Amino acid sequence: DKYVYDFAEGNKDLKDLLGGKGANLAEMTNLGLPVPPGFTITTGACQAYLATGREPDGLAGQIEAHLEALERAMGRRLGDPQDPLLVSVRSGARFSMPGMMETVLNVGLNDRSVVGLSDQAGQNDRFAWDSYRRLIQMFGKTVCEVPGEEFEHALDEAKRAKGTHDDLDLDADDLRGLVETYKKIFAKHTGREFPQEPREQLDLAIRAVFESWNAERAILYRRQERIPADLGTAVNVVTMVFGNLGPDSGTGVAFTRDPGSGAQGIYGDYLANAQGEDVVAGIRNTVPLQELERLDKTSYDQLLDIMARLEGHYQDLCDIEFTIERGKLWMLQTRVGKRTAAAAFVIAGQLVDEGLIDLDEALHRVNGAQLAQLMFPRFQLDHEFEAVARGIGASPGAASGAVVFTSARAVELAAEGKSVILVRRETNPDDLNGMIAAQGILTSRGGKTSHAAVVARGMGKTCVSGADEIEVNVPAKRFNVGGRTVSEGDVVSIDGTTGKVYLGEVPVTPSEVVQYFEGSLDPERTDDALVRAVHRIMTHADARRRLAVRTNADTGADAARARRFGAEGIGLCRTEHMFLGDRRELVERLILAATETERTDALAALLPLQRQDFVEIFREMAGLPVTVRLIDPPLHEFLPPLEQLAVNVAVAQERGEDVAKEEALLAAVRRMHEENPMLGLRGVRLGLVIPGLFAMQVRAIAEAAVAVTRDGGTACPEIMVPLVGAVQELETVRAEAEKIIAEVVGDSGVEVLIGTMIEVPRAALTAGQIAEAAQFFSFGTNDLTQMGWGFSRDDVEGAFFWRYLELGIFGISPFESIDRDGVGRLIRIAAEEGRAARPGLKLGVCGEHGGDPDSVHFFHEVGLDYVSCSPFRVPVARLEAGRSAI
């Protein structure tokens, strides 16, 4: 097997084999850019090492051969006492795992070659000893697990002895002394002397990089980022170049565009007389990259030139790491850079303008999650507000409220109409009520898959987790941060996108992107680059997509908003809210009806109210299809809770009041009590058990459609029967409905479709039969997931999903993103067998998944006709539908 590749042998497409860093170093080498020579040991070698615990056969020989070639090319030998070749040993996996794995610089230095290095650098003792102390420090820490603080303390001590804070003030003698101290630290912790043999240093460093793949923090990071555990890392061995040779040397990082906003310009930091890790370690203050123009114009111009070339070549924003050694520029790393959601859209638009990519590619480079981020309201920050802490942006949004420390208190204050922020060290399932009541959740512990983070995302609630500067004291009802105390009732603001925490109430404002979707910001007129880019890419997505996008809406107002957001109809109009409020009383009468007359009277009273609801919706959706679901939830949801009612009745009886009516109600509630209401009398079952209920709804829909049409409008109602599991259920409802429709519609020209939800697994598996009676299917993916997995949707998220996520049983809640293998299979079967029985059968989806990016791609693949989602997700679904079609 070939385990080692010279930089000249690789290219950017070999990331699986050479890791991101290695593949891009090879690419730059082949572009003729100034990359220090070197070679890459493959991820395959790492996998073999991790599997067997030793280097695979042949690896040592191949390294030897490449090292010799490198030595010949450089005219120096590794660690040679007179003129040493030094190398860095750098990790680099397929996916960037920032700071997770290690790099060792200056490999090849020892007690003798340090002198040769100084000679070669013009008797620069300071430089040579500085490089040597760095090697011992990095090697000790990474390869031999010597606690890093010990080296840092020693360095601080040396600076203190010298009366300085700046390591540049340490001279050659100080650094030589520091090397002695470092060696002692090394020996104390490892029980051996610092290895003097250059090749041994190299081999141990390579092995350490292999092993760093399985360091605890790397494992955690991979789990969070869903990076497969078996990829392994590549190892890059790179000839050292020196940014610490004096004031005419230095090192820096740069972006080809602003990764925050996407704006063009020069973005980077530079640090003179320093070696690599100093920039990120923040030991000394960097200067803006523009300063380099003054310090070294030639290198600066060359750098800008190279950045432009890299952008042209990668056709994207690149970030780079470089070093200048005595006026000579070296490129040490590049990759397509990470960016914010706003920058992603802006840059994609710019690259189209520059002719580097086409609109399909631009669409490919942005995604629905980014668009969703751009739609959250945001804080209007000015200088007045400064973050006091920063955690993980676990669930986006901008929330302000009074601080509370217990779930109970959150519920209490929320009931008074206050907005609250629940602050906990970490939440647990007992906090659920408080989380629901709170505007936002702030924890001092836990990452992206902590209980708080998972549950908050599921609820669409703002959450900052793991803000560890905050010391939470629940019994004392306060937290401390940066010397300040925040007590219960004090107001804080949290930003679930950036993870920042502010004291006081930061005002919020709708984002520009929402203003654009709302129609209050004209994309042709604005000079807002983001809005223009979003408009352009959305327009292209609409042109490309095959899936239609509808919305879930049950009021005229929601329907109107969704239309502005681009909805092409209603995929789910729930009718149950139409039974609440002052209509509850009518529903009670219906449920309690003892005689036929009482029941028909109650239904007759409900009919005109329902009809008016539908009239409004049909008007708003003029000409677009509206799928109305007949009543679905168990009827007892419309009645008072059993316990409360029982207490009321008992109290009233005690007082000797007349409670005949209440007693009847109580008896009904008792009669209808179910252990598992979600598996009980609901959906089509209600329609079959309570005579006249569905008939009333069907009549209201048909009459509303006729009324709107008579007024010159167009109504396209689609009646949807919920919870069907057998074709006979649907046939029974349909027969009755068709009679009513025929009678109401007459010759008005109105057409009413009758279809069903597919949300019971049995319906999916008998879809061929059901399609005989259904003019359309709409997948109710919430219930299909609930019944497919046997997970009670209302209980499981807070109870144990966090644990399932931690264990990797699933990567994301199946209620959030469709489970392709299981629930998805049911959908596939139903789609295929349904269409086989009835060609052209209209297929849609109306669960929460309709607005989830990954699920939208799945629905496209399965060949559905439309997805339906909440009004706010409509733009996201449009974008992803477009992306799935390219």
Q: Please, what is the minimum distance in Å from the beta carbon of residue 97 to ligand ADP?
A: 8
Say which of 846, 849, 857, 869 is annotated catalytic: 846
Which of the listed partners (ligand ADP, Mg ion, none) does 332 bind, with a CB threshold of 5 to 8 Å by partner kind? ligand ADP
Partner from ligand ADP, Mg ion, none contacting 783, C-beta within 5 to 8 A by type: Mg ion
Q: Is 577 a catalytic residue?
A: no
Binding-site partner at residue 773 among ligand ADP, Mg ion, none, CB < 5 to 8 Å by type: none
Footprint of ligand ADP (CB under 6 A): 36, 88, 90, 99, 103, 105, 238-241, 251, 276-277, 321, 323, 332-333
Cβ-based nearer residue to Mg ion, 88 or 181: 88
CA neighbor of 79 nearest in space, from 208, 209, 195: 195
Query: Among 46, 66, 318, 451, which one carries the catalytic annotation?
Result: 451
Q: CB nearer to Mg ion: give 83 or 576.
A: 576
242/858 with CB nearer ligand ADP? 242
Q: What is the 3-state secondary structure (H, E, C) of 703-737?
A: HHHHHHHHCCCCCEEEEEECCCCCHHHHHHHHHHH
CA–CA separation, 509 and 491 (whole Å): 18
Contacts by 586-593, CB closer than 8 A, 24 or more apart: 587/635, 587/638, 588/638, 588/639, 588/665, 590/690, 590/693, 591/635, 591/638, 591/639, 591/668, 591/672, 592/664, 592/665, 592/668
Whole-number minimum distance, CB 334 to Mg ion, in Å?
Answer: 10
Task: Report the candidate in 358, 254, 241 with the shortest Cα–Cα distance to residue 303.
Answer: 254
- DSSP characters for 245-265? SSTT-EEEEEEEE-TTT--EE
**860 labelled catalytic:** no
Tokens (6 digits) for 825: 């299979």
CA 278 to chain centre: 31
* Least distance to ligand ADP, CB of residue 325, Å: 8
DSSP 3-state of 595: coil
Residue 440 or 634 having the CB closest to Mg ion: 634
What does 865 bind: Mg ion, ligand ADP, none (CB cut-off 5 to 8 Å by kind)?
A: none
Nearest to 538 by CA among 418, 363, 315, 760: 363
Question: Site residues (CB under 5 A) for Mg ion?
Answer: 321, 333, 759, 780, 783
Partner whose footprint covers residue 251, from Mg ion, ligand ADP, none (CB < 5 to 8 Å by kind): ligand ADP
Choosing among Mg ion, ligand ADP, none, which partner's interface includes residue 855 (Cβ < 5 to 8 Å by kind)? none
Distance CA 103, CA 235 (A): 9
Helix/strand/coil (H/E/C) assignment for every residue in 294-355: HHCHHHHHHHHHHHHHHHHHHCCCEEEEEEEECCEEEEEEEEECCCCHHHHHHHHHHHHHCC
The rounded distance, in Å, linking the Cα atoms of 239 and 225 is: 32
**Least distance in Å: CB of 238 to ligand ADP?**
4
Per-residue CA distances from 447 to 56, 162, 225, 432 (Å): 36, 41, 11, 18
Between 126 and 451, name the residue whose CB sits nearer to ligand ADP.
126
Among ligand ADP, Mg ion, none, the one that 240 touches (CB under a kind-dependent 5 to 8 A) is ligand ADP
Task: Specify the residue, 23 or 105, whose C-beta has the smaller distance to ligand ADP.
Answer: 105
* Residue 323 contact, options ligand ADP, Mg ion, none, Cβ 5-8 Å cut-off depending on partner type: ligand ADP
User: Which of 213/638 has CB closer to ligand ADP?
Assistant: 213
Closer to ligand ADP by Cβ: residue 28 or 770: 28
Closest-by-Cβ residue to Mg ion is 783
Closest approach, Cβ 81 to ligand ADP, in A, equals 21
Residue with smallest beta-carbon separation from ligand ADP = 276
CB of 454 to ligand ADP, least distance (A): 29
Among residues 498, 442, 493, which one has the least CA distance to residue 469?
A: 442
Comparing C-alpha atoms, which of 42, 439, 431 is closest to residue 233?
42
Residue 224 C-beta: closest distance to ligand ADP, Å: 18
Q: Which helix (H) or strand (E) holds 755?
A: strand 753-758
Closest CA to 392 of 321, 447, 326: 447
Tell me which residues are annotated as active site: 451, 846
